[in-house]
C-alpha cells in the first residue's frame, strides 16, 4: 500500500568558477579525490560513471590555456578573480529513473541533455560532461530494500560570447575609426547569461522597476524552460519542469546531506505515526477475536457453559461475523501488514537516526568553526585552494617538462636517422 508519490521534476543549476577554485570542481567531477565530503559516493561504482565529453589527461585550466593560445577564446581584460567556467548540473529526482529503467535509461536521458548543453554553449566550449552513477540514494534504498542510485550530469563549459573590437581614434586611417577591426570569442559570464526577456504580470503587462526600466526574467529560469522543452521534444516525458526557488545550489554537499537527512527523519516520524494510527483499529479486531475464545467454562460432562451476557454477546458477534466474514479476514491480514510496516519504519528511523548522529559528529568541528570563527575558516579554505593551485601548477610544469624532454629526444632521434641516411 504505497504512500503518496511526489512529482518527478527536472533541475538545472549553474555554479561559477574562477582559476582558483575550478580545481576542486574538477577533482569532484572527474573523481580524482581520495575522499569526498558527499558521503553517498560509492567508490566501487565510479567506473560506471559515463563521460559524454572527456577532458582526458588535461586539466580544465590546461584546456582553457590551450584554447587561448590557439586563439579559440580570449581572456582579454578579465580580472584575476573573474568567472572562467560555468558548471551546469542537471538532474531529475531518483525515482524517475528507477521507474523508467534505471542506469540504462539515465545514460540515454543525460546523453540527450549533453546534446542540449552542446547546442546552447557550443560543442567546442564544453570542457567536460560526465554522468555520475556512483552516489547512493539512502532514502530510496531504505524504502525499496535494494541499492538505488541517484543519476545526474555535471557539465563544465566556457561562457563565450562574440565581441566586436573596433578601431580606436588612434588609428591613422580616419575611415577605419569606429569600424570593426576583429571579432573575438570572449569569456564573459555576465554577458553570456544576460537576459533580454521582460517579466510580465498575469495580464501580460511588463513589470517595471522603480526607475521605470523593465525587469527581466532570470537567465537561470530560462535555462530551466529550455532544458524541459528540449528533453520533452526528444521523447523524454513523465517529469515536470523544476520549480523556482530551490536552495540546493546554495548549499555544500555536506550541508545538503544534513538538510535532506533531517527531512527524511521528519518524514519517517510522520509515516510511523500514520502506520500506528491505522494499526490500532485492526488490533482491536484481533483482541475481540481472542475474547470470544476465552468465553465460557467447561462443565463436568465436557460441555461448554456460558453466562447470559456472554451468550448474548456471542450471538450478536456470530450474526455480525456471518455477514462480514470477508471483512474480518481482510482486517486480520491488515493487522500483520501494519505491524510489519510499523516495525519496518521504526527500524529505518532508528538506522537513519544513527547515520544522522554520525554525520553530525563528523562535521561538528567544521560547523562549530564556521559558527564561531568564520573569518579563520575562510582563510583556511582560501589557503587550501591556494595549495591545490600550487600543486596543479607544479604538476602542469612537470608535464610540460616531460613533453619538452620527449620532443627533444624525438628530434635527436630524427637527426640521428638523417645522419645515418647520409652515411649510407
Which pLDDT does position 80 carry in this prediction?
86
Lowest mean pLDDT among 73-82, 229-238, 344-353, 383-392: 344-353
- pLDDT-based confidence at residue 81 (cuts at 50, 70, 90): confident
pLDDT digits (tens, 9 = 90+) for 97-125: 999 999 999 999 999 999 999 999 999 99
Say which DSSP state 250 is in: G
**Domain boundaries of the chain, sorted by first residue:** 10-245, 267-372
Domain 10-245 in this protein, CATH class: alpha beta
| Structure-model confidence comparison of residues 422 and 258, the more confident one | 422
pLDDT tens-place string over residues 316-329: 777 766 667 767 66
State pLDDT tens for residues 141-168. Answer: 888 889 999 999 999 999 999 888 888 8
Partners of 155 in beta bridges: 88, 129
Mean pLDDT calculated for residue range 80-100 = 92
Burial of 156 (0-12, 13-18, 19+ CB in 10 A): buried
| pLDDT tens-digit map of 268-289 | 777 776 766 666 555 555 546 5
Evaluate the CA torsion angle 255, 261, 267, 270 in order and state its sign. Answer: negative
Instruction: Yes or no: say if 17 and 83 are a contact pair by the CB < 8 Å rule.
Output: yes
Contact 282, 338 (CB under 8 A): yes
Q: Is residue 85 scored above 80 in pLDDT?
A: yes
Helix axes 60-69 and 374-423, enclosed angle (nearest 10): 60
Residues 6+ apart with CB under 8 A from 195: 216, 217, 218, 219, 222
Cα-Cα-Cα-Cα dihedral of 139, 144, 146, 147, to 10°? -40
Q: Pick 196 or 149 by higher pLDDT.
A: 149
Number of residues in the chain: 424
Amino acid at each position: 500500500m504505497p504512500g503518496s508519490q511526489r512529482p518527478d521534476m527536472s533541475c538545472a543549476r549553474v555554479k561559477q568558477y574562477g582559476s582558483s577554485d575550478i580545481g576542486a570542481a574538477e577533482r569532484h567531477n572527474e573523481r580524482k579525490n581520495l575522499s569526498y565530503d558527499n558521503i553517498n559516493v560509492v567508490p566501487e561504482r565510479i567506473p560506471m560513471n559515463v563521460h559524454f565529453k572527456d577532458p582526458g589527461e588535461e586539466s580544465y585550466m590546461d584546456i582553457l590555456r590551450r584554447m587561448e593560445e590557439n586563439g579559440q577564446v580570449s581572456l582579454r581584460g578579465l580580472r584575476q578573480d573573474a568567472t572562467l567556467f560555468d558548471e551546469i548540473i542537471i538532474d531529475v529526482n531518483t525515482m524517475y529513473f528507477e521507474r523508467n529503467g534505471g542506469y540504462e535509461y539515465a545514460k540515454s536521458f543525460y546523453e540527450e541533455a549533453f546534446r542540449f548543453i552542446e547546442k546552447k554553449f557550443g560543442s567546442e566550449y564544453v570542457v567536460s560532461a560526465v554522468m555520475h552513477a556512483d552516489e547512493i540514494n539512502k532514502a530510496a534504498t531504505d524504502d525499496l530494500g535494494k541499492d538505488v542510485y541517484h543519476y545526474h550530469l555535471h557539465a563544465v563549459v566556457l561562457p563565450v560570447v562574440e565581441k566586436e573590437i573596433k578601431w580606436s581614434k588612434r588609428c591613422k586611417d580616419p575611415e577605419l575609426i569606429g569600424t570593426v577591426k576583429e571579432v573575438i570569442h570572449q569569456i564573459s559570464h555576465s554577458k553570456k547569461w544576460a537576459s533580454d526577456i521582460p517579466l510580465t504580470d498575469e495580464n501580460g503587462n511588463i513589470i517595471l522597476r522603480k526607475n521605470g526600466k523593465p525587469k527581466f526574467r532570470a537567465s537561470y529560469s530560462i535555462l530551466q524552460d529550455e532544458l524541459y522543452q528540449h528533453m520533452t521534444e526528444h521523447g523524454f516525458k513523465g517529469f515536470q519542469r523544476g520549480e523556482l526557488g530551490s536552495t540546493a545550489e546554495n548549499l555544500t554537499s555536506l550541508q545538503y546531506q544534513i538538510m535532506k537527512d533531517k527531512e527524511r527523519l521528519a518524514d519517517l516520524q510522520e509515516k510511523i505515526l500514520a502506520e500506528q494510527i491505522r494499526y490500532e483499529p485492526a488490533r482491536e479486531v484481533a483482541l475481540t477475536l481472542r475474547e470470544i475464545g476465552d468465553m465460557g467454562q467447561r462443565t463436568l460432562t465436557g460441555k461448554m457453559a456460558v453466562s447470559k451476557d456472554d451468550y448474548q454477546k456471542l450471538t450478536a458477534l456470530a450474526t455480525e461475523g456471518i455477514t462480514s466474514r470477508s471483512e474480518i479476514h481482510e482486517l486480520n491480514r491488515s493487522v500483520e501488514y501494519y505491524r510489519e510496516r510499523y516495525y519496518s519504519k521504526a527500524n529505518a528511523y532508528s538506522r537513519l537516526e544513527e547515520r544522522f548522529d554520525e554525520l553530525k559528529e563528523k562535521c561538528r568541528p567544521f560547523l562549530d568553526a564556521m559558527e564561531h570563527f568564520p573569518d579563520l575558516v575562510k582563510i583556511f579554505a582560501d589557503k587550501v585552494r591556494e595549495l591545490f593551485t600550487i600543486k596543479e601548477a607544479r604538476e602542469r610544469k612537470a608535464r610540460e617538462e616531460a613533453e619538452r624532454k620527449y620532443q627533444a629526444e624525438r628530434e635527436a632521434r630524427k637527426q640521428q636517422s638523417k645522419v645515418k641516411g647520409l652515411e649510407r
